[in-house]
């Protein structure tokens, strides 16, 4: 959740063109996506099954690209993930938190 919040704060101040023109911002968002991808490798049993609409495998795959093929990371893809894929992930994580606290 912290990484999602940071990304939202980072990209809240401009559009895609501003993002792509700012290497430091691209790096910051990319690193937060790395953190999310790494965290997705350590999910509690059942999380993926309760949220099958989340692209868990792709999340881990993006982490691997960032970690091992960093020269091929496309800033446009980083922007797309940051602006479209994180909102559903936030909803899933909040639902998971609510489920855990209701047990």
Task: For residues 19 and 38, give the distance between their C-alpha atoms in angstroms, rounded to a whole number.
Answer: 23
Known catalytic residue at 57: no
Q: Is 68 a catalytic residue?
A: yes
Residue 61 has which token pair? 């795959």
Nearest CA to 54 among 95, 103, 97? 95
C-alpha–C-alpha distance, residues 14 and 22, integer Å: 11
Q: Which among 13, 68, 90, 97 is annotated as catalytic?
A: 68
Q: Looking at 6, 42, 63, 97, which residue is catalytic? A: 63
H-assigned helices in the chain: 2-11, 16-20, 23-39, 47-50, 56-68, 75-80, 86-102
Residues acting as catalytic residues: 63, 68
């Amino acid at each position: 959740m912290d990484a999602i919040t940071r990304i939202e704060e980072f990209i809240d101040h401009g559009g895609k063109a501003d993002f792509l023109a700012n290497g430091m911002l691209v790096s910051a968002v990319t690193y937060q996506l790395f953190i999310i991808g790494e965290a997705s490798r350590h999910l509690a049993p059942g999380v993926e099954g309760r949220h099958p609409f989340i692209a868990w495998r792709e999340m881990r795959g993006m982490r691997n690209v960032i970690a091992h093929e960093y020269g091929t990371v496309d800033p446009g893809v980083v922007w797309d993930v940051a602006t479209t894929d994180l909102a559903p992930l936030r909803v899933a994580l909040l639902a998971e938190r609510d489920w855990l606290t209701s047990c």
